[in-house]
Amino acid sequence: MSNADELSTWLATIPPEWIGDCRATVFERARAAYESPPRQYHNWRHVEACVAQISSFTCEHPRTIFLALVFHDAIYIAGRSDNETRSAEVARSVLEADNSVSPADLGVIEAMINATSNHLAHANTTDRDLAVMLDIDLAILGASHSDYARYAQAIHDEYVPSATTDARFRVGRMQFLERALASPTLFITPEAAERWDAGARENVAWEMEQLRADR
């Protein structure tokens, strides 16, 4: 099945009100962005996995969350610090050209995408939709052990050797995991914390052990 056929099949599963007036080209351009450069984890499959979680949360504006998730990793180059900013710019460019999202909603979508640069910085947000979007983006942390292990390997493979050495990756990854584990909760919403926090802590602790063993 071609990418176009896969996209069409996927869009058919999305609630029509989330798509709204967006033309198919919006999603075609979004999906194409995830093809470059090749990614092991931050790819279109990650988008599909995130979108599948939206309906399991109570939120005020699921369409806004949906569109933010569709574009949140549109630009992803391992090691770059401006991926989120550039992804937000892609979202604005595509959605403005389509004229299917209000200026106010565009601003919200941009803010959501930019917030993914530092999930922990928004741990006390009172914005329910932002909290849901950020929790969904990190749902993989609380996945089954086998899924998490594949995710951890994929993150490694995105960075090594294209962006850094194996030794430097381990140092940076360990710092990220230590900060995550030190946080009172890895998730913002009560639902996500109940579903995923305990499993996520087990997964993170396991990965830290693996990183120490590989030194």
Q: What is the dihedral of CA 17, 33, 59, 124, to 10 degrees?
A: -160
Q: Judge if 127 and 144 occupy the same domain.
A: no
User: Averaged over 119-134, what is the pLDDT?
Assistant: 96
Q: Judge if 54 and 68 occupy the same domain.
A: yes
Higher-scoring residue by pLDDT: 129, 38 = 129
- Look at residue 215 and tell me whether its pLDDT is greater than 70: no
pLDDT band for 19, please (50, 70, 90 cuts): very high
Q: Judge if 205 and 110 occupy the same domain.
A: no
Phi, psi of 109 (to 5 degrees): -60, -45
pLDDT band for 1, please (50, 70, 90 cuts): low
Cis ω for the linkage preceding 103 (within 30 of 0): no
Q: Judge if 86 and 146 occupy the same domain.
A: no
pLDDT score of 214: 76
pLDDT band for 96, please (50, 70, 90 cuts): very high
Give dist(CA 85, CA 141) in Å, integer: 23
Q: Judge if 118 and 159 occupy the same domain.
A: no
Structure tokens at 124: 């006390």
Asked which of 94, 110, 137 is the last residue of a domain, the reply is 137
Helix then strand then coil, in percent of the chain rounded to 5, is 70, 0, 30
pLDDT score of 3: 77
In sequence order, the 6+-apart residues with CB closer than 8 A to the CB of 157 are: 40
Give dist(CA 16, CA 194) in Å, integer: 30
User: Averaged over 180-185, what is the pLDDT?
Assistant: 91
* C-alpha distances out from residue 214 to 12, 99, 166, 206, Å: 44, 51, 10, 13
Domain that holds residue 213: 140-215
Q: Judge if 129 and 169 occupy the same domain.
A: no
pLDDT score of 111: 98
Angle at 195 between CA 87 and CA 83, to 5 degrees: 10
Q: Judge if 102 and 174 occupy the same domain.
A: no
User: Averaged over 171-178, what is the pLDDT?
Assistant: 96
- Look at residue 2 and tell me whether its pLDDT is greater than 80: no
Q: Judge if 46 and 149 occupy the same domain.
A: no
Number of domains in the chain: 2
Q: What is the pLDDT of residues 194-204, one digit of tens each?
A: 999 999 999 99
Q: What is the pLDDT of residues 36-50, one digit of tens each?
A: 888 999 999 999 999
Q: What is the percent of the chain with per-residue pLDDT over 70, rounded to a whole number?
A: 99
Asked which of 95, 118, 137 is the last residue of a domain, the reply is 137
